[in-house]
Structure 1
Amino acid sequence: MALRGRRDGAPASEDEPRRDERAEQQAPALQGPVLPPPPPMDYGVFMQGLVQAMQTQAHTQAALQAQLEAQMVLMSGVL
Protein backbone atom coordinates (compact mmCIF):
# COMPACT_ATOMS: atom_id res chain seq x y z
CA MET A 1 0.00 0.00 0.00
CA ALA A 2 1.39 3.42 -0.94
CA LEU A 3 1.70 6.18 1.63
CA ARG A 4 0.24 9.58 0.84
CA GLY A 5 2.97 12.18 0.95
CA ARG A 6 2.78 15.76 2.09
CA ARG A 7 4.10 18.85 0.38
CA ASP A 8 7.01 19.07 2.78
CA GLY A 9 7.97 15.46 2.07
CA ALA A 10 6.84 13.99 5.40
CA PRO A 11 4.46 11.02 5.09
CA ALA A 12 0.87 11.53 6.24
CA SER A 13 0.09 9.77 9.51
CA GLU A 14 -2.84 7.39 9.83
CA ASP A 15 -4.61 9.38 12.58
CA GLU A 16 -4.37 12.67 10.65
CA PRO A 17 -7.63 13.39 8.77
CA ARG A 18 -7.38 13.49 5.01
CA ARG A 19 -7.87 16.75 3.13
CA ASP A 20 -11.32 15.78 1.71
CA GLU A 21 -12.53 14.72 5.17
CA ARG A 22 -11.46 18.09 6.60
CA ALA A 23 -13.34 19.88 3.80
CA GLU A 24 -16.52 18.05 4.78
CA GLN A 25 -16.06 19.06 8.41
CA GLN A 26 -15.51 22.71 7.48
CA ALA A 27 -18.57 22.97 5.23
CA PRO A 28 -20.91 25.67 6.61
CA ALA A 29 -24.12 24.46 8.18
CA LEU A 30 -27.42 25.58 6.67
CA GLN A 31 -28.91 28.49 8.53
CA GLY A 32 -32.48 29.71 8.74
CA PRO A 33 -35.74 27.90 8.12
CA VAL A 34 -36.17 25.53 5.20
CA LEU A 35 -38.87 26.97 2.97
CA PRO A 36 -41.52 24.80 1.29
CA PRO A 37 -41.45 24.59 -2.50
CA PRO A 38 -43.34 27.34 -4.34
CA PRO A 39 -46.87 26.61 -5.52
CA PRO A 40 -47.31 25.39 -9.09
CA MET A 41 -47.24 28.15 -11.68
CA ASP A 42 -49.91 28.79 -14.28
CA TYR A 43 -47.75 29.30 -17.36
CA GLY A 44 -50.68 30.58 -19.42
CA VAL A 45 -51.12 33.51 -17.04
CA PHE A 46 -47.35 34.01 -16.98
CA MET A 47 -47.17 34.17 -20.78
CA GLN A 48 -50.09 36.63 -20.94
CA GLY A 49 -48.30 38.91 -18.51
CA LEU A 50 -45.06 38.58 -20.46
CA VAL A 51 -46.75 39.47 -23.75
CA GLN A 52 -48.48 42.45 -22.12
CA ALA A 53 -45.16 43.67 -20.69
CA MET A 54 -43.49 43.37 -24.10
CA GLN A 55 -46.34 45.26 -25.78
CA THR A 56 -46.13 48.01 -23.16
CA GLN A 57 -42.37 48.25 -23.66
CA ALA A 58 -42.79 48.50 -27.46
CA HIS A 59 -45.43 51.22 -27.05
CA THR A 60 -43.25 53.15 -24.61
CA GLN A 61 -40.24 52.86 -26.90
CA ALA A 62 -42.27 54.12 -29.88
CA ALA A 63 -43.56 57.08 -27.84
CA LEU A 64 -40.05 57.95 -26.66
CA GLN A 65 -38.71 57.71 -30.22
CA ALA A 66 -41.46 60.06 -31.47
CA GLN A 67 -40.70 62.49 -28.64
CA LEU A 68 -36.98 62.42 -29.47
CA GLU A 69 -37.66 63.06 -33.14
CA ALA A 70 -39.96 66.00 -32.28
CA GLN A 71 -37.24 67.49 -30.06
CA MET A 72 -34.68 67.06 -32.85
CA VAL A 73 -36.98 68.97 -35.24
CA LEU A 74 -37.40 71.77 -32.69
CA MET A 75 -33.67 71.92 -32.02
CA SER A 76 -32.82 72.08 -35.73
CA GLY A 77 -35.22 75.04 -36.10
CA VAL A 78 -33.52 76.92 -33.25
CA LEU A 79 -30.01 76.63 -34.70
Structure 2
Amino acid sequence: MGEGLIPARGLTRLRREIARAGGPERIDHGPSTAPSKRLLRADPGYLKTVTGPLLVAEAGLSAVLARCPTFAAWWEDLLS
Protein backbone atom coordinates (compact mmCIF):
# COMPACT_ATOMS: atom_id res chain seq x y z
CA MET A 1 0.00 0.00 0.00
CA GLY A 2 1.12 3.53 -0.65
CA GLU A 3 3.55 2.85 -3.47
CA GLY A 4 3.34 5.78 -5.85
CA LEU A 5 1.39 7.94 -3.41
CA ILE A 6 4.26 8.37 -0.94
CA PRO A 7 7.97 8.39 -1.91
CA ALA A 8 9.62 4.99 -1.34
CA ARG A 9 12.03 6.25 1.33
CA GLY A 10 9.23 7.89 3.30
CA LEU A 11 7.04 4.82 2.97
CA THR A 12 9.83 2.59 4.28
CA ARG A 13 10.28 4.89 7.28
CA LEU A 14 6.53 4.93 7.97
CA ARG A 15 6.33 1.13 7.87
CA ARG A 16 9.27 0.89 10.28
CA GLU A 17 7.66 3.41 12.68
CA ILE A 18 4.34 1.51 12.61
CA ALA A 19 6.11 -1.78 13.35
CA ARG A 20 8.09 -0.21 16.22
CA ALA A 21 4.92 1.28 17.71
CA GLY A 22 3.09 -2.04 17.61
CA GLY A 23 0.52 -1.08 14.99
CA PRO A 24 -1.05 1.91 13.26
CA GLU A 25 -3.28 2.85 16.20
CA ARG A 26 -0.31 3.04 18.58
CA ILE A 27 1.78 5.47 16.57
CA ASP A 28 0.33 8.74 17.90
CA HIS A 29 2.35 9.99 20.88
CA GLY A 30 1.46 13.68 20.68
CA PRO A 31 0.94 16.55 18.26
CA SER A 32 4.28 16.09 16.48
CA THR A 33 3.87 12.32 16.05
CA ALA A 34 0.25 12.21 14.90
CA PRO A 35 -0.17 10.02 11.80
CA SER A 36 -0.82 13.05 9.58
CA LYS A 37 2.40 14.70 10.81
CA ARG A 38 4.37 11.51 10.12
CA LEU A 39 2.85 11.31 6.65
CA LEU A 40 3.79 14.93 6.00
CA ARG A 41 7.41 14.20 6.99
CA ALA A 42 7.41 11.15 4.70
CA ASP A 43 6.01 13.20 1.84
CA PRO A 44 6.17 17.01 1.98
CA GLY A 45 3.47 17.07 -0.72
CA TYR A 46 1.05 15.08 1.46
CA LEU A 47 -2.40 16.62 1.68
CA LYS A 48 -4.56 15.15 4.43
CA THR A 49 -7.80 15.69 2.49
CA VAL A 50 -6.41 14.30 -0.78
CA THR A 51 -3.64 11.79 -0.10
CA GLY A 52 -5.35 10.32 2.98
CA PRO A 53 -8.51 9.26 1.14
CA LEU A 54 -6.41 7.98 -1.78
CA LEU A 55 -4.39 5.80 0.62
CA VAL A 56 -7.58 4.40 2.18
CA ALA A 57 -9.03 3.76 -1.28
CA GLU A 58 -5.85 1.97 -2.35
CA ALA A 59 -5.70 -0.20 0.78
CA GLY A 60 -9.44 -0.78 0.94
CA LEU A 61 -11.63 0.06 3.89
CA SER A 62 -11.74 -3.58 5.02
CA ALA A 63 -7.93 -3.63 5.34
CA VAL A 64 -7.98 -0.42 7.39
CA LEU A 65 -10.71 -1.77 9.66
CA ALA A 66 -8.81 -5.05 10.12
CA ARG A 67 -5.63 -3.24 11.25
CA CYS A 68 -7.34 -0.57 13.34
CA PRO A 69 -9.79 -2.14 15.82
CA THR A 70 -10.51 1.12 17.68
CA PHE A 71 -11.35 2.85 14.41
CA ALA A 72 -13.37 -0.21 13.34
CA ALA A 73 -15.47 -0.01 16.51
CA TRP A 74 -16.05 3.71 15.95
CA TRP A 75 -16.98 3.02 12.30
CA GLU A 76 -19.45 0.29 13.25
CA ASP A 77 -21.01 2.55 15.88
CA LEU A 78 -21.33 5.32 13.31
CA LEU A 79 -23.11 2.98 10.90
CA SER A 80 -25.52 1.55 13.47
Asked if TM exceeds 0.5, the reply is no
Q: TM-score, normalised by structure 2?
A: 0.21
Relative to total residues, which structure has the larger helix share, 1 or 2?
A: 2
Return the index of the structure with the highest Cα Rg. Answer: 1
The answer to which structure, 1 or 2, has the higher relative contact order (CA under 8 A, 6+ apart) is 2
TM-score (norm 1): 0.21
